[in-house]
Chains A and B, each alone.
Chain A
Amino acid sequence: MNRKKRSFNFILGTVLLALTLIPALIGLVWTPYDPESMDVANKLAHVSIRHIYGCDNFGRDVFSRIMSGSGITLLIAIGTVACGSIIGTIIGAFTGYFGGMVDTAIMRINDVALAFPSILLALVIISLMGSGKYQVMFALGIAFIPSYARIVRGEYKRIKNLDYVKSAKLAGAGDLRIMFVHILPNTKAVLLSSVMIGFNNAILAEAGLSFLGIGVQPPDASLGRMLSEAQAYLFTNPGYAMFPGITIVMIILGFSLLSKEIG
């Protein structure tokens, strides 16, 4: 890929993310309207200057709800990726570094979990724990562990036989020190690109779960939840479904364009 195209991807990715993430960040402290206040007079109002994205079936301002909803969606994504990558890294580090029977057994279970779509794994966990934003974060976080464990394990298996690790061992460094001070920084490149991809997958999975009605619960807004509510009003106010949907697409597209640059 030539240089010009690279910078184009980078600029477009940054612009898309700026357009979605900045309102989400502002939405944490301020929104034009209260995202939960209902206004019967504006029920399913179309796009106008007062309500730039129109209103939903309760007369709530769609733009304000997208602002606070994308905030919740992003928080869940961050929590999910943090949970999945940290626990996954620890499991991957230990199994990859030490190997042996435990490694074989854990990786067998890991492979089984990987063969499962992560949203289904999350469904199982949610059916055990109930729904809500923290449950979604927890469920998806657990569902994301196997893929990180697998990636990190591969890296550790490769790196542990390199010369610098051997010399660290000769110098008397302990196993834990070698694992997390010497090897971990060298898995950065692989880990970073899988965190970016994981972020996208987490946004999609959260939106999917909330769309099914078992993710984020009212009165919290989330992009997936808004889409599922909007579905009943496709005839009367198509904009209500379009804006949250387009916001998701912009976030995903932005992240995947940027991760191409980093990867």
Chain B
Amino acid sequence: MKYVAKKVIGAIITLLVVSLLVFLAFAIIPGDPALSRLGTNATESALAAMRERMGLNKPIPVRYLLWLAGIFKGDLGTSYAYEMPVTALIADKMPITITLMIYSLILMLIISVPLGVYASYKEKTAIDRAIQIINQIIMALPPFFSGILITLVFGVGLKFFVPGGFVSIGVNPVRFFKFMFFPALAIALPKSAMILNLLYTSLNGEKKKDYVRTAYSRGNTSNAVFFGHMLKNASMPAITFIGMALADIVAGSIIIEQVFGIPGLGRILLTSIQNRDYPVVLAVIMLIALMVVVTNLAVDVIYKIVDPRIE
């Protein structure tokens, strides 16, 4: 319990540091948002009024605290470009991106764990080697290229889905999940290859340890030793990696959303960067940071459950 509390406090500090750094970065960049909103012909008094309305006339520390307080009230500021609350702008995009992330996480586990265990079980056979070679190639696939390949094979070739034919969950849930399978697969594939590799290596490392020999000598069947003893110990590096992979999944989903034309957080982040719509960029970055920190926290807790020796 003390361990969890320590991790939670650490996560909160991390988020505060992120918010401070990101806010500062956007506050000190050159350029006057009021000027860019009103244009160069605006009078000085109109500019001053606009700055007042946008809350830009206060000193930066005050602005930061106000912004931070706003977050707790669910107010992420107002978009410069759309002139509407940021919360309203991203509210319907968040579930899409989160669905994509969870979907690819599940796919990643479904693909990598059984295959890694199987390959290790069949170590030094032809099947093992075939899995290793394919794995090595998939590991080198950038997520957007795996997305393009999947579009090419399953979309253009086999016509399993319509490229760019995103359907929102409210319109047709079945088609939504059917469509999202492919972008999720595109994110999951390269990551699964890495987890497979890690699991395989650590399983093979466990095979040589004393406790495995002891377990065999006590008369356990090889299945019992493999699944009852080794798998749990061998899964530690894989869990660590899954934690890191989650951050990559977040980044990957931003790119994959572009490949498959999914209107999620990635899309709004990119358009806002191009429009220099900083309140939106700030909000999306903070949301992503929140997701990364929360998933890392979850991984730390799972770690502790799997291996209680960890301090």
Question: How many whole Å from B228's CB to the nearest CB in chain A?
Answer: 28
B149 touches A214 (CB 8 A): no
Answer whether A127 and B281 are a contact pair too, CB < 8 Å, given A115-B292, A115-B296, A208-B255: yes
A238–B150 CA distance with the chains assembled, in angstroms: 12
> Given the complex of chains A and B, what is the CA–CA distance between A207 and B259 in angstroms?
13
Give the distance in Å from the alpha carbon of A208 to the alpha carbon of B252 in the complex: 9
Given contacts A123-B285, A208-B144, 4 further A-B contacts (CB under 8 A): A227-B148, A242-B152, A249-B145, A257-B136
Beta-carbon contact of B21 and A109 below 8 Å? yes
**Using Cβ atoms and an 8 Å threshold, which residues of chain A touch B131?**
none
Q: Is B251's CB within 8 Å of the partner chain A? A: yes
B99 interface contact, C-beta 8 A = no
Minimum-distance CB pairs A-B, first 3: A117-B251, A253-B140, A252-B140
Residues A232-260 near B (CB distance < 8 A) = 234-235, 238, 241-242, 245, 248-249, 252-253, 256-257
- Tell me if B255 and A211 are in contact (CB < 8 A): yes
A108 at the interface (CB under 8 A from B): yes
Distance between A110 CB and nearest chain B CB, rounded to angstroms: 10
Count how many chain A residues have C-beta atoms less than 8 Å from C-beta atoms of the other chain.
38
Question: Which residues in window 96-134 of A have CB below 8 A to B?
Answer: 108-109, 111-112, 115-117, 119-120, 123-124, 126-128
User: In this assembly, does A92 line the interface, its C-beta being within 8 Å of a C-beta of chain B?
Assistant: no
Interface SS of B by simple majority:
helix
Can you give 28 A-B contacts (C-beta < 8 A)?
A: A109-B21, A115-B14, A117-B247, A119-B251, A120-B285, A120-B288, A123-B285, A124-B281, A124-B285, A127-B273, A128-B25, A128-B26, A208-B142, A208-B143, A208-B251, A208-B255, A211-B144, A212-B254, A212-B255, A212-B270, A213-B274, A224-B142, A234-B151, A241-B152, A245-B145, A248-B142, A252-B140, A257-B136
B residues engaging A (CB < 8 A)? 13-14, 17-18, 21-22, 25-26, 29, 136-137, 139-145, 148-149, 151-152, 155-156, 163, 247-248, 250-251, 254-255, 258-259, 269-270, 273-274, 276, 278, 281, 285, 288-289, 292-293, 296
**A204 in the interface, Cβ–Cβ < 8 Å?**
yes
Of B140, B269, B274, which contacts A256 at CB under 8 A? B140
Asked whether B136 lies within 8 Å of A112 as measured between CB atoms, the reply is no
Residue ID in chain B nearest A126 by CB atoms: B273
